[in-house]
Amino acid sequence: MPTLVALNMAIKIWLSFIRLVLLIVFFARTGIIAIRQQARARLVPRRWLRQLMMERPAFAILEATRPPQLPHAPRACRLALARNRARILGICWETNGSMHPALLKQAAELSLNSGGCIKFDPKAWSKELHIALCGVSNEQTFESFRLLADYMRKCPSPPFLVAGTLLVPGYIDKAEVAGIVSFICSLSPDIPPMLFSPFTSNLG
């Protein structure tokens, strides 16, 4: 009997030791991955900046809808502006409005101060249709648009904010377009709405 008790205790101790080793390995590996991800995040702006310095465009257009890009995109823009003081470089963004308000404000300030603009893409007016097309509600989208509309007073011409809606056949009809345009005009008559056809190759 004492031998069985001792054997059980030894097994429990070994199992506890194995669990502890596995936990240490897991957290160590997680920490290494996090450090590598942080290192990559620091490298991405500099890679983009090197490309920008080589191409030397008058405007830099960034897509502000992908969450992995958002944290370092404003920092990359500040680096670009700091290294291009001797020439014009307007920071422009394209967004569907899903980004965090704090990041949206940073993007707006960068565009406003550099002479750039923000192209906003309201997909649909009705909440149900927006969910069908995008998988999420459009509440955050229109809240973001209201936030950006306040900046139009500072730069009405050329317009700081423009809106573009894709005419998805069978979904975006006259009623949807009327709702979006009415919403835009209620915030500012200086915001130009644009409509895009999915069949641009067939246009003359």
Domain presence at residue 71: no
Residue type, 130: H
Shared-domain flag, residues 24 and 99 = no
Domain presence at residue 131: yes
Domain presence at residue 165: yes
Tens-binned pLDDT, residue by residue, of the chain (204 aa): 556 666 666 666 666 656 655 544 444 444 433 334 444 444 455 565 565 555 555 555 565 555 556 777 777 778 777 877 777 778 888 888 888 888 889 888 988 888 888 888 899 999 999 998 888 899 999 999 999 998 888 877 778 899 999 999 889 999 999 999 999 999 998 898 888 887 655 444
Residue of 110, 111, 107 lying closest to 99 (CA atoms): 107
Shared-domain flag, residues 97 and 179 = yes
Shared-domain flag, residues 98 and 193 = yes
Shared-domain flag, residues 98 and 185 = yes
User: Collapsing DSSP states into helix, strand and coil, what is residue 170?
Assistant: coil
| Structural domain count of the chain | 2
Shared-domain flag, residues 179 and 100 = yes
Rounded to an integer, what distance in angstroms lies between the CA atom of residue 73 and that of residue 109?
13
Domain presence at residue 74: no
Shared-domain flag, residues 11 and 106 = no
Shared-domain flag, residues 115 and 191 = yes
User: Collapsing DSSP states into helix, strand and coil, what is residue 67?
Assistant: coil
Shared-domain flag, residues 100 and 191 = yes
Shared-domain flag, residues 115 and 33 = no
Q: How far is CA 111 from CA 93, 98, 100, 116, 193, in A?
A: 8, 18, 17, 4, 19
Domain presence at residue 183: yes
Query: Residue 194 pairs with which residues in a beta bridge?
Result: 164
Measure CA of the first residue to CA of the last residue in the chain; give whole Å: 93
Domain presence at residue 77: no
Q: Using only C-alpha atoms, what is the Rg of the chain?
A: 25
Shared-domain flag, residues 30 and 97 = no
User: In which residue are the tokens 């291009």 written?
Assistant: 84
Residue type, 55: E
Rounded to an integer, what distance in angstroms lies between the CA atom of residue 5 and that of residue 161?
76
Domain presence at residue 182: yes
Report the CATH number at residue 167: 3.20.20.70
Rounded to an integer, what distance in angstroms lies between the CA atom of residue 107 and that of residue 91?
8
Rounded to an integer, what distance in angstroms lies between the CA atom of residue 165 and that of residue 193?
8
Shared-domain flag, residues 111 and 184 = yes
Domain, as residue range, for 139? 92-198
Shared-domain flag, residues 166 and 104 = yes
Domain presence at residue 4: yes
